Amino acid sequence: MNGNERYVQLHSQAIVIDAACPLGTVDHYYKRWIDGGVTVMAPTVAVDHNCRETISRIAAWQKKIETNSDELLLVTSVNDIYRAKQEKKLGILFHFQNALPIENELNLLSIYHQLGVRIIQLCYNVRNLIGDGCDERTDAGLSEFGIKVVQEMNRLGLVIDITHTGYQTTMDVIATSEKPVIFSHSNADRLCPSPRNLKDDQIKAVAEKDGVIGIVGFPAFVAKGKDPTIEDYVDHIDYVAKLVGVRHVGIGMDYYEGMDGIATLEEATTIYDQLISSGRWKEEAYPPPPWKYPAGIEDPSRFPNLTKALLQRGYSEEHVLQILGGNFLRVYEQVWGK
């Protein structure tokens, strides 16, 4: 078998999980993940939404899955992931990129779980009732309410995502949680300094809890001052794998509606201006558009190129399968149960 046949065949066999997919919520862009041979996509169902808005967004997703049942399958268990692979459908894994939808009502976690949500990110850059975001002026750590949220998420079987979350809050969450936690889409600060990327001790701490770091493709978190390439992206995989082991590396591309190739420069600039003026983004961490994702994987349909690049970098087939989805699958099973 030549190299081209090898990566194509391996990619077709793999359970591929993209752990952060804001673009997947928009229109019918989910089809690009299908084109890329992805097994499970985690669309951003809610961010800065209240309970009513969030339930409406979940309902819209439920309708989309029902209407497109020949292509889509709601994932609420590990068995659903295997089923999506077997039936050649795209698994949809509901993901919140902030805990604002639970407001100050701990019991809402149970309701969201019943509605199919399986992963909740605790903060988005700024402070909420749980803790500080990674762009917050302070670094205050996990609140008393936040401790209760972590404990309740553990009890229900909700995966805790600490991407976009402040340093001390992430360390407190890791120490408090009885189950593995994840960074769904973050990179190594040593390779690309940014408030959004991770210090070595954060990477080590999440690995000690047997969690996973999903490597993100947003250009400013991959390489500073240039348009990143797939090689720059794989450098982050290498860094985490060498620091804590392949077992703790996954994929969380974070393709989103402002990216180059989806939005015009004018549209992206409008999005950027709104995010900066709202305080959700800071200029120090988020440079203005265009946002060009790594060359070679600049679009979800290009996922097979990542499999090829990992093999070329010297990863074994077993390790490639772990990185593409096996490691996140392990965490899901540990948190959700079988």
The three state secondary structure string of 87-133 is HCCEEECCEECCCHHHCCCCCHHHHHHHCCCCEEECCECECCCCCCE
- Distance (Å, rounded) from C-alpha 189 to C-alpha 202? 10
Q: Which domains does the chain have, with CATH numbers?
A: 3-336 (3.20.20.140)
Angle between helices 303-312 and 3-13 (to 10 degrees): 120
Q: Which tokens in the block code for residue 90?
A: 């795209």
Cα torsion 43, 321, 124, 115 to 10°: value is: 40
pLDDT value for 338: 74
Residue 2 has a pLDDT of 60
Closest CA relative to residue 203, chosen from 231, 178, 176, 182: 182
- The residue type found at 213 is I
Residues 6+ apart with CB under 8 A from 334: 179, 180, 210
211 is written with which tokens? Answer: 């969690």
Closest CA to 98 of 50, 53, 47: 47
Distances (CA, A) of 137 to 127, 132, 273, 279: 9, 9, 20, 12
Low-confidence ranges of the chain (pLDDT < 70): 1-3
pLDDT tens-digit readout, 226-249: 899 999 999 999 999 999 999 999
Helix axes 230-244, 303-312, angle to 10 degrees: 60
How many residues would you count in the chain?
Answer: 338
Sign of torsion over alpha carbons 197, 202, 325, 241 = positive
The letter for the amino acid at 300 is P
* Helical residues (DSSP H) of the chain, grouped into ranges: 3-13, 30-35, 51-67, 78-87, 108-114, 144-156, 167-176, 200-208, 219-222, 230-244, 265-278, 303-312, 317-321, 327-336
Please provide residue 67's backbone torsions phi and psi, each rounded to the nearest 5 degrees: -70, -30
Q: How far apart are CA 156 and CA 159, in angstroms?
A: 9
